[in-house]
A = this chain, B = another copy of it.
């Protein structure tokens, strides 16, 4: 089956599961509405797809990884809602529609984010319990927690916020920010999927290395897209306060050098997949498509 067909199947599974999770009657109506507004809003579901693909590649069942995949998307979505707040990036639009706080107000947007983050863990823990506390499953939940947390995504956001405030940045800081803000959750997705399939140490190491490199590739091509804008609808709108001094691979290295780094990163990402042979087809095709998305 091709990468595209798998991705379609994964996205359908995830969209249906997210929908079902949101129909939880304990969630107050307005909060539910605010969470659903951003969670279901036309995202690519990249992180959930990565988790499901990684699990399947290693012989696991995608259905087992589904609650973790949904947790990843809830966490990713909370980070976007909080990131868009006036106190952060101050973005009025996200994915072509008004950002969460423009529709529900800042207070409810903060709570929608808090709710999604909490619900991600509630969802993943319930799945862990349904798997009888299985150690591989627990490692998967831990991988997500670490990727999302104060040594991962939140760390990247904090350093980004400080760097933009001080309007100073060097190559090391930029790398730290992207490896944590974007990379950590992408890596967590593939590692978590592998844990659910009870991958061995060599497999975990290889898929982890791929995750880091693919995260970097994703960020560089995202930066290139922001400039070249050749892939309509993919690039996010720059925040009011941000357009002038946004830190990107392009602003730091220039467009051509950024594209060269992207190509080199894609090559290394595919190399990391070598031990999986043919089974890695999904990830190889995804890497090539990501590299090509600004052309």
Is the C-beta of A113 less than 8 angstroms from some C-beta in chain B?
Answer: yes
Most buried by B among A88, A109, A121: A121
Chain A interface extent, by class: 35 or more
Is the C-beta of A125 less than 8 angstroms from some C-beta in chain B?
Answer: yes
**Nearest Cβ on chain B to A185's Cβ, whole angstroms:** 11
Nearest residue, chain B, Cβ from A149: B118
Cβ < 8 Å to B, chain A residues 67-119? 78-79, 82, 85-88, 101, 105-111, 113-115, 117-119
Is the C-beta of A148 less than 8 angstroms from some C-beta in chain B?
Answer: yes
A161-B114 CB under 8 A given contacts A27-B151, A122-B146, A150-B35: no
Contact among B27, B114, B128, B142 for A82, CB-based, below 8 A: B114
- Residues 21-61 of A, flagged 1 when their CB comes within 8 A of B and 0 if not, give 00010111011100100000000000000000000000000
Stretch of A132-140, A205-213, A220-228, A268-276 lying at the B interface: A132-140
- Across-interface contacts of A142 in B (CB, < 8 A): 122, 125-126, 129
Is A27 a contact partner of B119 (Cβ separation < 8 A)?
no
- Residues 150-172 of A, flagged 1 when their CB comes within 8 A of B and 0 if not, give 11001101110110010000000
Is A111 a contact partner of B157 (Cβ separation < 8 A)?
yes
The secondary structure that dominates the A interface is helix
**Nearest Cβ on chain B to A242's Cβ, whole angstroms:** 12
Is B111 a contact partner of A110 (Cβ separation < 8 A)?
no
Is B118 a contact partner of A118 (Cβ separation < 8 A)?
no
Is B151 a contact partner of A24 (Cβ separation < 8 A)?
yes
CA distance A148 to B82 in the complex (A): 18
Is A115 a contact partner of B150 (Cβ separation < 8 A)?
yes
A117-B118 CB under 8 A given contacts A128-B138, A135-B133, A158-B31: yes
**Nearest Cβ on chain B to A112's Cβ, whole angstroms:** 8
Is the C-beta of A145 less than 8 angstroms from some C-beta in chain B?
Answer: yes
Cβ < 8 Å to B, chain A residues 223-265? none
**Nearest Cβ on chain B to A88's Cβ, whole angstroms:** 5
Is B110 a contact partner of A150 (Cβ separation < 8 A)?
no
CA distance A109 to B88 in the complex (A): 10
Q: List 14 A-B contacts (CB under 8 A).
A: A30-B162, A35-B150, A82-B114, A85-B87, A85-B110, A87-B109, A115-B149, A117-B118, A118-B145, A118-B148, A119-B149, A121-B149, A122-B142, A122-B146
Which residues on A are within 8 Å of B, measured CB to CB?
A: 24, 26-28, 30-32, 35, 78-79, 82, 85-88, 101, 105-111, 113-115, 117-119, 121-122, 125-126, 128-129, 132-135, 138-139, 141-142, 145-146, 148-151, 154-155, 157-159, 161-162, 165
Q: Which 6 A-B pairs have the closest CB atoms?
A: A26-B151, A87-B106, A133-B133, A118-B149, A31-B158, A87-B107
